[in-house]
Amino acid sequence: MLTSVGGPGLDTLDLARALLVGSAVLVLCIAAVRVTSRSGLPTLLAYLAIGLLLGEVGFDFDSDALGQVLGYAALILILTEGGLTTRWSAIRRSVAPAVTLSTVGVVVSVVVTAVAAHWLLGLDWHVAMLIAAIVSSTDAAAVFSVLRRVPLPRRLSGMLEAESGFNDAPVVILVVALSARLVDPAHAASWPVLAVTATLELVGGAIIGVAVGYLGARLVRRTAAATSGLFSIGVIAVSVFAYGAAAMVHTSGFIACYAASLVMGNMTMPHKAAMLGFAESVGWLAQIGLFVMLGLLATPSGFTAQVVPALILGAVLLLVARPLSVAVSLTPFGIGWRDQAFLSWAGLRGAVPVVLATVPVTHGARGVDWIFDLVFMLVVLFTLIQAPTLPWVARRLRVTETAAAHDISVDSGPLESIDADLVQVSVGAGSRLHGVRVFELRLPKGANVSLIVRDESSFVPGPDSLLRAGDDLLVVCGRGLRDSVEARLLAVSREGRLAGWRSGSS
């Protein structure tokens, strides 16, 4: 028997209002992507602005605890999408430098920034260290949103991808530990104990992530391979399970989540195009929700007092701490000064520092509410400074490629059944692919240029078809040939039609 209970609560009218506002915000955020892509700014700024605007017109959200929980949930989904869409072959050579930059580099950055915060801003050492740790995490998603039209060589794009996947976990561990130290210094762990604990958490999380990713992928492949929709949901669930399993045994859930996704994304899987498309959609939804929520959580009235401190700390971080951390971490690997200079400038801050700025309050630290406003202003101001100039910096340092190869995921049964890949190649200005005939590319056996898109029209090329700057090529190749096809095309782009001739390579 159904009974009705009176009193306050949600009803269908409240649901209608929530759906109306939520869907309108989503549509507005999607439209903002087009605007920001033209201006060269990351979409995070538009999402933050929408959140701020909603807060100003009366949508109240001021729970740091809820904000932290929702922020962590969004970061899990963002890391999942990042791991699934990252090619191991693209980051393999960058893993060791990226891990060093995400650990040793973070420590160097934190120390330098903390010293500046203590001496220049007069902050207590505990607070200075905490703020330095919060702002030490970079966001490659923000970098790539700016550099979509600037082709980076694999050594740099792989480094940025790997760093973004690895550096969140150690920073979260450090911020949580420093927050606990600020709340109760007498019972805080010593620095050597903290270092050992953090190392064990990271290693343990990585092991759990790899194991869960491998076993989970095999399980989902056996049980849900018949339906692309269920299969995609299962893959996301495995990645989230990896986070929960690692966190429950007090290891790093973030590194476990990323490792599991990376393993699954590089295994031979059915419905890969559908899976990656679903993961990208989930990642976009998580980013939109996260940044809008952070905008709602911010208090504009507190921004003015933090502008000068944010500019001071951001300048130290950008011009001293980040370059020094990059030099210390990457010089032993023989990485040149041009790449180091670009990676230093490309250290954009994004959602992670703003989410971590809520941690001290949720841990019970008193009198540090202003940290959120400081970090928020630092992220916004230096995104405005760095993001528009990144393409120019890349060109000035001459670290761009004149041709870029991109994977294309298509829902195509024939491609899956013949075990083939589809690669898009963009011929940039200055590329020596210009003027080369198709047969002169000498692509590996089993690969062929199937379509050329030129001036908004397309045609199927023959062996004697000439390539021109501005062309987009679609290359079909057998599975396993993708890397060699890309390497050959980039070699011809750099050296011309005789690339590899003297060494006898094809």
CATH code for the domain in which residue 75 is found: 1.20.1530.20
In a domain, residue 26? The reply is no
Say which range, 8-22, 110-124, 142-156, 190-204, has the weakest mean pLDDT.
142-156
Q: Which of the pair, 380 or 430, is modelled with greater confidence?
A: 380
The answer, yes or no, to whether residue 50 has pLDDT greater than 70, is yes
Q: Are residues 93 and 116 in the same domain?
A: yes
Count H helices and E strands in the chain, helices first: 22, 5
In a domain, residue 470? The reply is yes
Q: What is the mean pLDDT of residues 144-165?
A: 76
Q: Are residues 425 and 455 in the same domain?
A: yes
- Reading the block at residue 209, the tokens are 């992530």
Beta carbons within 8 Å of 319's beta carbon, 6+ residues apart? none
Which string of b and e fits 27-39 if b means at least 16 CB within 10 Å? eebeebeeebeee
Q: Are residues 378 and 415 in the same domain?
A: no
Q: Are residues 219 and 337 in the same domain?
A: yes
Q: In this prediction, what percent of the chain has a pLDDT beyond 90? A: 28
Say which range, 5-14, 239-248, 381-390, has the weakest mean pLDDT.
5-14
Q: Are residues 172 and 191 in the same domain?
A: yes
In a domain, residue 422? The reply is yes
**What band does 163 get if pLDDT is binned at 50, 70 and 90?**
confident
Q: Are residues 455 and 370 in the same domain?
A: no
In a domain, residue 5? The reply is no
Q: What is the mean pLDDT of residues 247-252?
A: 93
- Cα–chain center distance at 59: 29
The answer, yes or no, to whether residue 47 has pLDDT greater than 80, is yes
Q: Are residues 80 and 187 in the same domain?
A: yes
In a domain, residue 148? The reply is yes
Q: Are residues 337 and 408 in the same domain?
A: no
The answer, yes or no, to whether residue 411 has pLDDT greater than 70, is no
Q: Are residues 408 and 376 in the same domain?
A: no
What does the pLDDT read at residue 1?
45
Q: What is the mean pLDDT of residues 466-479?
A: 85
Q: What is the mean pLDDT of residues 179-195?
A: 80
Q: Are residues 285 and 335 in the same domain?
A: yes
In a domain, residue 187? The reply is yes
What does the pLDDT read at residue 100?
93
Q: Are residues 214 and 264 in the same domain?
A: yes
The last residue of a domain, from among 348, 365, 396: 396
Per the structure, the complete domain to which residue 109 belongs is given by 44-396
19-33, 283-297, 320-334, range with greatest mean pLDDT: 320-334
What does the pLDDT read at residue 392?
87
The answer, yes or no, to whether residue 460 has pLDDT greater than 80, is yes
Q: What is the mean pLDDT of residues 407-429?
A: 63
How does the average pLDDT of the chain come out, rounded?
84
The answer, yes or no, to whether residue 313 has pLDDT greater than 90, is yes
Nearest to 344 by CA among 163, 172, 166: 163
Provide the residue type at 26 as one letter: L
**What band does 213 get if pLDDT is binned at 50, 70 and 90?**
very high
Q: What is the mean pLDDT of residues 265-271?
A: 84
The structure's pTM equals 0.80
In a domain, residue 415? The reply is yes
**Predicted confidence (pLDDT) per residue in 75-113, tens digit:** 899 899 888 988 887 788 888 999 999 999 999 999 999
The answer, yes or no, to whether residue 410 has pLDDT greater than 60, is no
What is the C-alpha to C-alpha distance for residues 442 and 498, in angstroms, rounded to an integer? 10
Q: Are residues 386 and 411 in the same domain?
A: no
Structural domain count, the chain = 2
CATH code, 461: 3.30.70.1450
Q: What is the mean pLDDT of residues 28-49?
A: 75
The answer, yes or no, to whether residue 504 has pLDDT greater than 50, is no
In a domain, residue 215? The reply is yes
**Predicted confidence (pLDDT) per residue in 445-459, tens digit:** 888 888 889 887 888
Alpha helices in 224-271 (DSSP H): 228-248, 253-265
287-296, 406-415, 475-484, range with greatest mean pLDDT: 287-296
The answer, yes or no, to whether residue 134 has pLDDT greater than 90, is yes
The last residue of a domain, from among 342, 363, 396: 396
Nearest to 298 by CA among 38, 50, 51: 51
267 class by beta-carbon count within 10 Å (0-12 exposed, 13-18 middle, 19+ buried): middle
- Reading the block at residue 21, the tokens are 């506002």
Q: What is the mean pLDDT of residues 415-439?
A: 77
The last residue of a domain, from among 357, 379, 396: 396
